[in-house]
Amino acid sequence: MEELPLGSLSEPDPNIPDRPVILVADDDQGIRTLFRAGLEREGFSVLLASNGRRAMELIRSAQISVVLLDLNMPGVDGIATLRELRSDPGFRTLPVILVTGSTTEADRIVGLDRGADDVVVKPVSVPELVARVRAQIRGREALTREQEASREYRRRLAAFLPELPRDAPLLTLAGALTERLPATLGLDSVAILAFERGSARCVAAAGPIVNRYPPTKLVPHDPGSEIARHAKTGPWLDTPSGPPDASGETTELAFVPFSLGSKAQPIGCLVYGQRPDQASGPLSHRLADLIDATDFIVTALRPAIEHAETTNAAILGLRRIIARQRFMMVLQPIVRLDGGTLVAVEALTRFSDGVRPEVRFAEAARLGMGAALQRATVAAAIDAAATLPSDVALSVNISPDVLEHDTDLPEIIGRAGRPMIVELTEHERIDDYHAVLAAFGRLGANVQLAVDDAGSGYASLRHILSLQPAYVKLDMEWVHGIAGDPIRRSLVSGLAYFAAETGCELIAEGIETQDERDALIELNVHLGQGFLLGRPEPNPRA
- Do 29 and 147 reside in the same domain of the chain? yes
Number of domains observed in the structure of the chain: 3
Q: How far apart are CA 46 and CA 66, in angstroms?
A: 10
Residues 283 and 385 in one domain: no
CATH of the domain at 11: 3.40.50.2300
Contact criterion met (CB below 8 Å) for 394 and 416: yes
Is the residue at 534 inside a domain?
no
Same domain? 335 vs 447? yes
Q: Are residues 52 and 69 in the same domain?
A: yes
* 39 and 80 part of one domain: yes
Rg of the chain, C-alpha, whole Å: 41
Residue at 160 is within a domain: no
Q: Could you tell me if 245 and 351 lie in one domain?
A: no
pLDDT of residue 455: 57
480 and 512 within one domain: yes
Residues 289 and 367 in one domain: no
The predicted structure's pLDDT at residue 426? 59
Q: 236 and 334 in one domain? A: no
Domain boundary among 152, 175, 203: 152
What angle, 0 to 180 degrees and rounded to 10, lies between the N-to-C axes of helices 126-160 and 170-185? 150
pLDDT score of 17: 47
In a domain, 223, yes or no: yes
At 347, which CATH number?
3.20.20.450
Mention every residue, 6+ apart, whose C-beta is less than 8 A from residue 315: 367, 368, 369
Same domain, 365 and 311: no
- Asked if the structure places residue 438 within a domain, the reply is yes
Residue 103 and residue 82 share a domain: yes
536 inside domain = no
CATH of the domain at 284: 3.30.450.40
Helix 52-61 to helix 78-86 angle (10° resolution) is 30
How far is it, in rounded angstroms, from Cα 321 to Cα 324? 5
What is the pTM (predicted TM-score) of this model?
0.57
Q: Residue 196: CB partners within 8 Å, gap ≥ 6?
A: none
What pLDDT score does 261 carry?
65
Bridge partners of residue 350, in order along the sequence: 328
What is the model's pLDDT at position 265?
A: 83
Please indicate, yes or no, whether residues 56 and 82 belong to a single structural domain of this protein: yes
Residue 159 covered by a domain: no
**Distance of alpha carbon 429 from alpha carbon 91, whole angstroms:** 70
Of 174, 176, 162, nearest to 202 by C-alpha is 174
Given 152, 185, 217, the domain boundary residue is: 152
Is 157 within a domain? no
Domain boundary at 259, 294, 316, which? 316
Task: Please give the pLDDT value at position 326.
Answer: 95
What are the per-10-residue average pLDDT scores of the chain (542 residues)? 41 54 92 92 93 91 92 85 89 89 79 86 89 89 76 77 73 85 88 90 92 91 92 87 52 88 79 77 81 85 75 86 94 94 95 93 88 94 94 94 91 94 78 90 93 60 81 90 91 88 90 94 95 86 48
Domain that holds residue 212: 167-316
Confidence at residue 250, expressed as pLDDT on a 0 to 100 scale: 55
537 occurs within a structural domain: no
